[in-house]
Amino acid sequence: MIVTTKKLFEAAYGKYAIGAYNINNLEQTMGLFRGNLMSEAPFIIQISKGARSYTDKRMLQALIKAADEVFPEAIFAVHLDHGDEETCYDCINSGFYSSVMIDASHESFEENIAITKRVVDAAHAKGIVVEAELGQLGGVEEHIQVSEDEARLTNPDQAKEFVERSGCDSLAVAIGTSHGAFKFSGSQSLHFDVLSEIQKELPNYPLVMHGSSSVPQEEVARINKAGGKLEGARGVDASQFKQAAKLGVTKINIDTDGRLVWTRVHREHFLEHPENFDLRKPGIVFMEEYAKFIADKNDKLGSSGQLDEVRKMIG
């Protein structure tokens, strides 16, 4: 069942975070639904602009609709990840997405508010909720590359004004994470002091953490051993997710880790089975491994076992 992120955040606030997972294809979709049902967790499907244009935006939509029928027990939101204004309107008018992110974080404070407010007005008119971003993460997203020096942590003094004036339903904050597989050029640290200040300014308001893949070192080692070249890759310490949830983080975005699972499975498969040319063979392994990965991540987020509670809340 497709619900808004707002509904999921009401259930989760202060207790746990909901996993927001990016998908691009059939195998990820199957693994995602299986893993969330295995761990009895509500979840958020994220679709980026790149994912929409990988084949045709209608293809992912059709896959998710089919998955909703195949897995009727699942409760999830369908969310546009890092949208620009035009893509937000396209999703709002699609009648399919329950939530969009407008990412105008690279604009000035005033321009970010103005753009976000326009999207909020259009979305709310159709019962769709909006995530916005204040501050700037490092790393690569869509076609924008932000170096760690250019990254800006969210200013807690601006957060409340931003939310009040833009009307956004949740806020992505920059507290030290970055996108991709190479995070933290210095020591890994999340700025819980900044997060705590933001929560004081915005009590009971859902916050979002992007760039939260943990880039498991075992995964990186297996990829490198099977011919990959990911030396120096590292990510967020997943044992800090629950602490973040207590400070108001209700949505944690994970994409890179899923890509690492895909890379490891396929590299190992073809190394061990050089004679194989049936794409379904590694596909089957990937769907199983991805499902296990999702279930394990949900344990770390605290969302495992919460599905019944959410179902009761939704009624």
Q: Which does 213 bind (CB under 5 to 8 A by kind): Zn ion, ligand G3H, ligand 13P, none?
A: ligand 13P
User: Which range binds Zn ion by CB under 5 A, 46-54, 67-75, 107-115, 205-213?
Assistant: 205-213
Please pick, from the candidates 18, 51, 171, 301, the single residue that binds ligand G3H as defined by CB under 6 A. Answer: 51
CB of 18 within 8 A of CB of 302?
A: no
- Least distance between ligand 13P and beta carbon 181 (Å): 7
Burial 126-152 (b: 16+ CB within 10 A, else e): eebbbbbbbbbbbbebeeeebeeeebe
**257 or 268: whose CB is closer to ligand G3H?**
257
- Decide if 81 is catalytic: yes
What are residue 270's phi and psi, to 5 degrees? -75, -25
Q: Which stretch binds Zn ion (CB under 5 A): 27-35, 47-55, 190-198, 246-254?
A: 246-254
Q: Which of 68, 81, 169, 299 is catalytic?
A: 81
Q: Does 87 bind ligand 13P (CB under 6 A)?
A: no
Q: Is 210 in the site for Zn ion (CB under 5 A)?
A: yes
Binding string to ligand G3H for residues 201 to 240, with x set by CB under 6 A, is what? ----------------------------------------
Q: Which is nearer to ligand G3H, 25 or 158 (CB)?
A: 25
Of the candidates 239, 233, 241, the one whose C-alpha atom is nearest the C-alpha of residue 208 is 241
Residues between 171 and 200 that touch ligand G3H (CB under 6 A): 179
Residue from 133, 141, 169, 257 binding ligand G3H (CB under 6 A): 141
Q: At its nearest, how many Å lie between Zn ion and the CB of residue 208?
A: 9
Residue placing its CB nearer to ligand G3H in the complex, 142 or 299: 142
Q: Which residues bind ligand G3H (CB under 6 A)?
A: 22, 48, 50-51, 81-82, 141-142, 179, 255
Q: Which residues bind Zn ion (CB under 5 A)?
A: 210, 253
Q: Which residues bind ligand 13P (CB under 6 A)?
A: 22, 81-82, 179-180, 210-213, 253-256
